[in-house]
Amino acid sequence: MSRIKSFNPVNGELVGEVETTTRSEIDAMMAAGHRAQKLWAARPLKERAAVMQKLAEHLKAHRSDIAEIVTKEIGMPIDQSYIDVDDTGLSFLQWYIDHAEEAIAPQVLHEDDDVIHTIYREPRGLACSIVPWNFPFSSVIWQCGQNLLSGNAVILKHSSECPLASKVIAKLFQEILPKDLYQVVFVKGAEGDYLTEQDINIICFTGSTKVGRHLYEVAAKKFIPVLLEMGGSAPGLVFADADIDAVLDSIYFNRFFNCGQVCDGQKRLLVEAPIFDEVVEKLKVLVESKKVGDPFEEGTDFGPLSSSGQMKEVQGQVEASVSCGAKVICGGKALTELGPAYYAPTLLTNIKKEMRVWNEEVFGPVLPIMPFNGEEEAIELANDTIYGLGAYVYTTDHERFKRVASQLESGMVGLNNQYYLKPWNPFGGYKLSGMARHQGIFGFHDVTELKIVATEK
């Protein structure tokens, strides 16, 4: 039987391996998932929420186990792995549990002397969830928490870059949830197509736009809904009236958290011409003050990228842009003395639209910086992308912010130090960044069916 191997990106050494799931095993999991879903959906919402609360407490008790395997497997600095577990994982799950009734309880839309019209949100059935490697724990919570509370069962495929984290998380889920309600397959590449070809009722996907478009076609043929959260190339717009010192840490964080491997990360920085040199210099000083090293060491800001392959992809994007005239302000090179997947945090200027770092999603610690003159040009440059996930605006003029935010082709916009990533807010984007939404009341709505019932009095 074939196996999926996991390598530590710090040193390239084998961390472990898991057996791949066979097609016959997938067939059996499908049948079991449908049976488990019917039993789960028949239980009152309060009972489902009580089980999910036990799951939340169980996961919290094992938070160190999860954070450590995440750091070992994808190289995320350990304090950032705890953010993945606690801040964008467990806290979001708790919000789902606390607000599930508000989101999906029956609601009376109309009542008179003769009739009551009630709207119900019902489970869709068996959800196929496909999640990426960059946030191994919170991605599972985002994909599965609202599905499970809504009464759906889940068959999950994690990225083959983090099979061990997937196995640890699955074990914890299965120790609490009813049998076969949450199942995990381990497959690579095209074998994932066999999973989505089966008798499933909704596809929930987080990952690349290329794969997301393929899954959209699969879902269309099956005539089932999809929830797609795909790529991003979020712009940051720094206007001349911005309080640079007050927002500098936010600019840094929005680009470089998790070594820049964030879907809605600030991947292009636009700076108004009068303050361009000042912003570049202050960012350079800040970036060069950060520690690159062992992700398990306290105080490490940058570990390796998730794999040597990911590092080479980023390296190729930078080298191609430099060959077209981009100027390296800092970084711009692989740090092979540290390990096979390390890349120096990088700032680039003299950016042109035909460069790869401008027109492709760069999933690594690289920030291209371009000047602009006035709001109109800033908005034009910001929208010059196939993506529309996140956007960041830095200004002290709130009226300007309102004008700019209303014209940005983006599903989410933050002002200065305010970040939109909260469990009550919808998460998703415009254009090729996807469709439907995670989080908030909206996330529950996108994984349930809508039924109106008219009852005589």
**Active-site residues: which are they?**
229, 263
Q: Which of 309, 73, 25, 65 is nearest to 187 (CA)?
A: 25
| CA 131 and chain centroid, separation | 8
* Angle formed at CA 250 by CA 247 and CA 252, multiple of 5 degrees: 110
- Please, which residues bridge with residue 394 across strands? 238
- 3-class DSSP assignment, residue 51: helix
- Can you tell me the distance from the alpha carbon of 272 to that of 274, in angstroms, rounded to the nearest whole number? 6
* Angle formed at CA 421 by CA 416 and CA 424, multiple of 5 degrees: 125
Q: Which of 12, 134, 160 is nearest to 81 (CA)?
A: 134
- Can you tell me the distance from the alpha carbon of 154 to that of 183, in angstroms, rounded to the nearest whole number? 6
The answer for 75, left when phi > 0, alpha when psi is -120 to 50, beta otherwise, is left
Task: Determine contact, residues 181/66, Cβ cutoff 8 Å.
Answer: no
* Pair of tokens at residue 245: 């010192």
Q: Which of 144, 130, 196, 202 is nearest to 173 (CA)?
A: 144
- Can you tell me the distance from the alpha carbon of 149 to that of 48, in angstroms, rounded to the nearest whole number? 6
Provide the residue type at 60 as one letter: K
Task: Determine contact, residues 305/331, Cβ cutoff 8 Å.
Answer: no
How many other CB atoms are found less than 10 A from the CB of residue 114? 8
